[in-house]
Amino acid sequence: MRKKLLLGNWKMNKTPEEAASFARAASEMVDFAVSHNVDVGVAPTYVCLDAVKKAINPKCIVAAQNCSEHDHGAFTGEISIPMLRAIGIDWCIVGHSERRAYNGETSEACNAKIKALLAAGMTPVYCCGESLEAFEKGETKKFVAEQIRAGLKDLTPDEARKVIVAYEPIWAIGTGKSASTEIAEDTIGFVRRTLRELFGTAAVDMRILYGGSVKPDNVSAYIGAPDIDGALVGGASLDPVSFKGLIEGMLR
């Protein structure tokens, strides 16, 4: 039985003080979610990770938004997995569409990061999702299958089981235009079939999230779909009241 998961991606928002204030406000709602068998987490910016980790309910997952595949060296501006581990971070988002678009991240680069995270005992959250152009051409499945095959290349079924996959159609991110539940369900069902081809029955245990304009009032529709195990939420995860609404929506 796959446990539901709500993960807030804060993107480039909040100072350490603002992030710690959210963390303190979220303590009870984290208990509430966990007691209802829902995992919850937030992904602050690097500079907020330590403040959030120290202030938040320890049952809350705290994830980084990115990492380097290298442990150390001449990689200006990068943050390594051992550095994240040193402050108690054991989850990390990989291959968000904004990083693919603005930082030229490829699925092959994501594959190296995912392997490095798994080797360090961390949980990667691997993002995939098609552009508006691919969506309009009816090429969503081709696009997403390529991202899955390249990003998760050469993983064993046991490794794959530890990866969370997030399907986020780019045209639905931050636009207020969420994918219909039919589209999300259809694509995520396809993602699971692709994972099954690659990893056999391990695919049944893998959690797949939907992301893209998820709000407190639409989250329950996604969660109701058999293959959708949770949500990766941007804008609506920034405010504690809205975050609580998302948790409540997950349970509806």
Binding positions for ligand 13P, rule: CB under 6 A: 9, 96, 168, 173-174, 211-214, 232-236
Q: Is 156 exposed, middle or buried (0-12, 13-18, 19+ CB in 10 A)?
A: exposed
- Spacing of C-alpha 44 from chain mean position: 12
- Please count the other Cβ atoms lying within 10 Å of the Cβ belonging to residue 66: 20
Tell the smallest beta-carbon distance from residue 127 to ligand 13P (Å).
Answer: 7
Are 250 and 220 in contact, with CB atoms under 8 Å apart? yes
Q: Is 57 exposed, middle or buried (0-12, 13-18, 19+ CB in 10 A)?
A: middle
SS3 content of the chain, % helix, strand, coil (to 5): 50, 15, 35
Tell the smallest beta-carbon distance from residue 206 to ligand 13P (Å).
Answer: 18
Query: Residue 42 or 152: which CB sits closer to ligand 13P?
Result: 42
Query: Residue 143 or 199: which CB sits closer to ligand 13P?
Result: 143
Query: Residue 7 or 198: which CB sits closer to ligand 13P?
Result: 7
Task: Residue 242: name the closest of 84, 57, 83, 6 by CA.
Answer: 6
Query: Residue 39 or 168: which CB sits closer to ligand 13P?
Result: 168
CB-based closest residue to ligand 13P: 234
Tell the smallest beta-carbon distance from residue 44 to ligand 13P (Å).
Answer: 13
Tell the smallest beta-carbon distance from residue 41 to ligand 13P (Å).
Answer: 12
**Residue position matching structure tokens 């997030």:** 166
* CA distance linking residue 222 with residue 249, whole number of Å: 10
Query: Residue 116 or 219: which CB sits closer to ligand 13P?
Result: 219
Tell the smallest beta-carbon distance from residue 116 to ligand 13P (Å).
Answer: 21
Active site residues: 96, 168
Contacts of 149 (CB under 8 A, 6+ apart): 194, 198
